[in-house]
Structure 1
Amino acid sequence: MVIEIDARGLGCPKPVINTKKELDKIDQGVVITTVDNEIAKENILKLAKSLNLESKVIKQEKDLICIEIIKGENVIIEQDKSLELEDKCIFISSDKMGKGNDELGNVLIRGFIYTLTESKPYPKSILLVNGGVRLSTENEDTIENLKILEEAGVEILSCGTCLDYYGVKEKLQVGSVTNMYTIVDTMKNSSQTISI
């Protein structure tokens, strides 16, 4: 069975959601999703990886990218990079910590990210949204410490819509770009979400 999805022109996270819906309907088969941009392609490949399914780009031209996902055959089972990760998600929505003085808030968030590197077990994932995406793009202190966490297996995810809004997508230095579907899914599947 081959299911084809045309997700060109759809905003984030619709290409991922539409692909996931079709994958949920079948026990075995192939889903081919066509998108028109790199971010949608990467998000669909990440979806397949998160479901332990084999995926690959089978066609790529300007504004036309086809991703094939195979379900029920050649299943890929990946193990976590680290056994020291705790099933927790850290949700950071600002490049400052707390309300009041912004300068103090900058110092506190840098201290918080550094302290995470010194506190094991590490969380499984860190989600950066709204102003929080500056921590993975512009703040050298936090970028350095987020890289330490990423190397240990922590998933660092920055909201693509937020990166676009602030005009910093090209400055992303650690982790990967994500979408609202993955943000919600990560939070739902974590035993605890801690909001900063």
Structure 2
Amino acid sequence: MNTEIDARGLNCPLPVIQTKKALETINEGVITTIVDNEVAKENVTKLAKSMTLKVDVKESQGNYYINIFKDQPTGEITLGEISCDDLPKRNLVILITDTSFGAGSEELGRILMKGYIYTLTEATPYPKSIILLNSGVKLAVEGSEVLENLRKLEANGVEILSCGTCLDYYKIKDKLLVGGVSNMYTIVEKLNNAKNTVKI
């Protein structure tokens, strides 16, 4: 099975995400991803090598054709060392104050929050910072369903900050697994200096 992904003109990490999704849908075959910049070429190549797959890159008229050869099923694919530090960040701060999204059903709210954080990893440009306040800090600790996606955001330059007072209140500071601990002074400063803020 041969699949071609035309990722020219797409910002990082979209070429990698599209390649990853294509690789997850096949047990064997060739995925050819076409990109038009060095960063995308390097990151798609890193993805293939992280899966120990054979990769062949050809350049033609400023475009890179990355052929990835898959000959057996693979486990869960992670983005590993993929870096998008070159991406511009919006002057946007997202303030999350709960583990669920919206009023109403708690179960539905948790599903929506998981979907929201995941979608942030696929939407560029990224926000500048995500601030976790009150029970929102539980999203960044051991056992959280959104840890992996928060780590992806952090790896791509998004600042993740958890309220230290909140972590202490819930007695979970020692379980923090992503981002840093902040105080109210810094949180106020981040919110005041942001061009746009979104409260969840």
TM-score, normalization: structure 2?
0.57
Preserved contact between residue 138 and residue 144 of structure 2 (Cα < 8 Å):
no
1:191 matched to 2:195? The reply is yes
C-alpha separation in 2, matches of 1:105 and 1:139: 17
- Is 2:184 the counterpart of 1:151? no
Partners of 1:180 and 1:82 in 2: how far apart?
Answer: 30
The question of 1:124 aligning with 2:128 is answered: yes
Tell me if 1:85 matches 2:89. yes
Counterpart of 1:142 in structure 2 is 146
Structure 2: which 5+ residue stretches go unaligned? 1-84
**Amino acid of the residue matched to residue 182 of structure 2?**
T
- Identity in percent: 53
Distance 1:104 1:139 in 2: 18
Displacement of 1:85: 1.1
Write the mapping of 1:1-196 to structure 2, written as runs, cut at 5 A. Answer: 81-196=85-200
Partner of 1:52: none
How far apart are residue 139 of structure 1 and its match? 4.4
Number of residue pairs matched by the alignment: 117
Following TM superposition, by how much is the alpha carbon of 1:84 offset from its aligned partner in structure 2, in angstroms? Answer: 2.3
Separation of aligned partners in 2, 1:110 and 1:195: 16
Largest Rg, 1 or 2: 2
